[in-house]
Amino acid sequence: MDQKKIFIFLLSALVLLCLFKFIDSKNIIKKPTISRHILSLTQPVTSFIGIVEKKEDNKIVVTQTAPSKIAHTFLIDKNTSFLRPPVSIPFLFTTPIPTKEKIFTIDDIIVGSTVTVSVDTDLRLLKQPVFAAKNIFLTAAINHFTGKIINFGEKSIIVKDSKGNMITAIINDQTEISRYVHTPPRPNEPLAPVKPEKLTFADLKIDMEVTVYTDQDVLTGKDFTALRVEPMIPPTAISPSN
């Protein structure tokens, strides 16, 4: 091969190399982007637990802060399933009636709450702007609050909680008002067992401390239907026997 052919061959190879570089820089040939976190994770990552930092339209931004800040944006659509542990009410007399399972939506997600999001994509490999959420696991609802009764409605009590919030608890025919009775023992007598006691709306008084249970998340509003009200009534002292 003479020098002219060698020169033409090298020039052609150089042109082809430049062409491939240009194509790659324009993303005509796309390659998966490897996340910087892949070195510390050896198994596929298809779930992400963190704090809801932002909620807008049909998207949420979930953030982890340890060991370093990581944030992902998740799309919520008709294929997204929501799961939350059922609430429980510590009734003393009422037999709970099974209720229809609630269907949760993005409206039930509270900014600042903790959620776990599962996806079909390995979160290590593809750094894309938005991931489609397959399942969103919500933390258990806080379904009770404690405070002092400061006022009454016709069928409601207004309770001031420890943070100064005024919360209205609606009392209806299904509301159980009950407590455990702790009877102080007489001198030299053993402790009597605690007993459940059913009370009425008339037994509730101003400045009485109560715990109100509902089937709703008390972080989402100020008015709730009370399923159970537990008043903290001090036990009556018993005089020593003669």
Gap between the Cα atoms of 142 and 85, Å rounded: 11
Q: How confident is the model at residue 11 (pLDDT cuts 50, 70, 90)?
A: low
Taking residue 50's Cβ as centre, other Cβ atoms within 10 Å add up to 19
Give the per-residue pLDDT at 24: 55
Domain boundaries, the chain: 38-138, 144-231
17-39 per-position pLDDT tens digit: 565 565 555 544 445 554 555 44
Query: Which tens digits make up the pLDDT trace of 153-199?
Result: 989 999 999 889 999 999 999 999 999 987 777 788 787 788 999 99
Position 238 scores a pLDDT of 44
pLDDT at 42 over 70: no
38-138 and 144-231 in the same fold:
yes
pLDDT (0 to 100) of residue 29: 43
Model confidence pLDDT, tens digit, residues 196-218? 999 999 999 999 999 999 998 89
Question: 127-146 pLDDT, tens per residue?
Answer: 678 899 999 999 988 999 99
Q: In percent, how much of the chain has pLDDT > 70?
A: 78
Residue 191's pLDDT is 77
Domain spanning 38-138: which CATH class is it, in words?
mainly beta
SS (H, E, C) the chain: CCHHHHHHHHHHHHHHHHHHHHHHHCCCCCCCCCCCCHHHCCCCCCEEEEEEEEEECCEEEEEECCCCCEEEEEECCCCCEEECCCCCCCCCCCCCCCCCCCCCCHHHCCCCCEEEEECCCCCCCCCCCEEECCEEEECCCCCEEEEEEEEEECCEEEEEECCCCEEEEECCCCCEEEEEECCCCCCCCCCCCCEEEECCHHHCCCCCEEEEECCCCHHHCCEEECCEEEECCCCCCCCCCC
Class (C level, CATH) for 144-231: mainly beta
pLDDT, one tens digit per residue, over 57-106 is 899 999 998 777 888 999 999 999 999 998 899 999 999 877 777 889 99
